[in-house]
Amino acid sequence: MKRVILFRNGSGVDGKVLLVTHSLEEVLAGASQKLGIRATHLYTPQGGLIDDLRLIRDDDILYVSEGEDFVLPVQPCPGVRPPGHVGTSLSLQSVAGPSLTCSGVSSTHDWVTLNVGGRIFTTTRATLVTKEPNSMLAKMFSCEDNHLLPSNRDAHGAYLIDRSYSYFEPLLNFLRNGSLILNHNINPQGVLEEARFFGIESAVPHLEALTCAQDETPDVEPLTRHDVVKALISTHHRDELRFQGVSLKRADLSKLDLRNINFKRGVITSLNNSGRMDHDATFIYANHWWFDLKQLLKILSPILLIISPSTERTFADLSHCNLSGANLNGCCLERANLCGANLEGAQLLNVRLLCANLESANLRSCNFEDPAGTRSNCEGVNLRGAVLEGSMLAGVNLRVATLKKANLKNCDLRGAVLAGADLENCDLSGSDLQEANLRGANLKDAAFELMLTPLHMSQTMTCDL
């Protein structure tokens, strides 16, 4: 249902509110009863004759005639601009209540109240008109002859604007002081769309630059334990889960079952120009996650960003991550960054750590020994300054690994391959090196005190002393 405000023809006072019913005749009958006259014609504030009920809008101001022609109101209603009068004032309601006109030197200092998306904003007309004279807001509230009529008003007299207040507020401040300042939770793209809508052109270049900078900034926010657990729960135990190229920096993943997860370096790119998947696409990325395309495409394809291979590659970042007591059996951590990570008591059977960085990491009491005889491959791993005291490293491949100043006290290194490894200043006290291969290893200043068994090697040991 709609309502209208009725005035007698030629008058701007003593208006009556009428509910619009089903026909124009019923409206005229109601107007006759409300105003005490014999109503025959309805006119718009511009003098247009209403001859169809569909022409009436909610909260329209109409003038009722007894048959005579339209007469300009002696006292125009607030917000109504009579036709044909150059320089006729546009009334604006201030916060205090009384209407202020455009006449006089101080007209630009009138206060205007706006209701944008349900939030109230109060500003001066000068703010809306001066900086961007060609904007929609300037044309709505200027005193020029070619202005736009302001929108409807709410119950408190504020002009209603159906837009997002979150994106409008930075633009209003821009009109006030000329500076474009966005809070961290405001998307520049949304403010840009509002600037274009309102025609605030001077703000558009700044916002376009901010939008481009946001698009170019990679999303490197580390994942949390909650994110990882959510991924684990949603993936079938027989499927391969991939965390390729993601950041788990300082995440607490202690005591989690992370078996067979692939942390190997991933490929970061975007959709091709057509927005479709390339035929050689191998990975998908959704909500900061890398997954195996074949396993999850069917169930998540509507919300996933499909990735095609490119030359830009990254490595999983687990630096300073807490993996104590975690089960990492069968994981691929090739070239992953585990610098300073805590893996105390972790299960690392059949793990791949080729060229991974575990400098200063804590691997105390870790288990690398697979009863089935499968060897963990740690070739080229960086374990400089790492603590592996009491770890089970039987049969592990540590060829050309860096173990300088590492703590390998009381480790089980039976049958381990340490050929070409850098063991300078490494503490091997109490370790079992039976049948270990140390050919070409650098054992300068390495400590071998309290050896549990004699040193055995499959080949003649060549070392730098």
From 71-85, 238-252, 268-282, 414-428, the region with the lowest mean pLDDT: 268-282
Query: In 3-state terms, what secondary structure has residue 172?
Result: helix
What is the dihedral sign for C-alpha 62, 64, 67, 72?
A: negative
Give the per-residue pLDDT at 164.
92
* H-only helix segments in 101-156: 125-129, 136-141
Written as six digits, the tokens of 134 are 């060609």
Among 91-105, 135-149, 257-271, 393-407, top mean pLDDT goes to 393-407
Residue 289 burial by CB count (10 A; 0-12/13-18/19+): exposed, middle or buried? buried
Q: What angle do CA 411, 415, 416 make, to 5 degrees?
A: 60
What are phi and psi for residue 374, nearest 5 degrees?
-75, 130
Provide Rg for the chain, Cα atoms: 38
Question: Minimum mean pLDDT among 211-215, 242-246, 301-305, 375-379: which range?
Answer: 301-305
Say yes or no to pLDDT of 273 above 80: no
Q: Are 292 and 283 in contact (CB under 8 A)?
A: yes
What value does the mean pLDDT take over residues 237-246?
71
Q: How many CB atoms lie within 10 A of CB 53?
A: 16
pLDDT at residue number 6: 87
SS3 state at 451: coil
Contact 322, 254 (CB under 8 A): yes
The rounded distance, in Å, linking the Cα atoms of 431 and 412 is 6
Confidence of residue 31 (pLDDT cuts 50, 70, 90): confident
Q: Would you report the helix, strand and coil content of the chain in percent, each value rounded to 5?
A: 20, 20, 60
Flag whether pLDDT at 185 surpasses 90. no
Q: How far apart are CA 463 and CA 453, in angstroms?
A: 20
DSSP state of 318: -
Whether the predicted pLDDT of 220 surpasses 80: no
pTM for the full model?
0.46
Beta bridge partners of 442: 422
Alpha-carbon distances of 213 from 114, 271, 325, 436, rounded to whole Å: 32, 19, 41, 54
Position 357 scores a pLDDT of 92
pLDDT at 120 over 90: yes
In this prediction, residue 412 has a pLDDT band, given cuts at 50, 70 and 90, of very high
The mean predicted confidence, pLDDT, of the chain is: 77
Provide the pLDDT confidence category of residue 417 given band limits of 50, 70 and 90: very high
CA–CA gap between residue 116 and residue 98 (Å, rounded): 21
Contact by Cβ (8 Å): 414, 436: yes
Q: Is the pLDDT of residue 132 over 50?
A: yes
Least confident interval from 181-185, 268-272, 368-372 = 268-272
Note the pLDDT of residue 308.
Answer: 37
Res 277: pLDDT: 37
pLDDT of 428? 92
pLDDT at res. 145: 57
Q: Is the pLDDT confidence value at 280 over 90?
A: no
The average pLDDT across 198-221 equals 79
Supply 109's token pair: 């200092």
Diameter over CA atoms, the chain? 122
Question: Rounded to an integer, what distance in angstroms lies between the CA atom of residue 141 and that of residue 150?
Answer: 7
Query: What is the mean predicted confidence (pLDDT) over 121-141?
Result: 89
Return the pLDDT at 56. Answer: 85
Residue 341 phi/psi, 5-degree rounding, is -75, 155
Q: Supply the pLDDT for residue 244.
A: 67
Percent of the chain clearing pLDDT 70 (strictly above): 74
pLDDT at 147: 62
Q: Which two tokens stand for residue 396?
A: 């592990």
For the segment 61-76, the average pLDDT, to the nearest whole number, is 79
CA distances from 39 to 2, 31, 57 (A): 19, 6, 19
Residue 129 per-residue DSSP state: H
Per-residue model confidence (pLDDT) at position 453: 52
DSSP conformational letter for 149: P
Helix axes 165-177, 188-198, angle to 10 degrees: 70
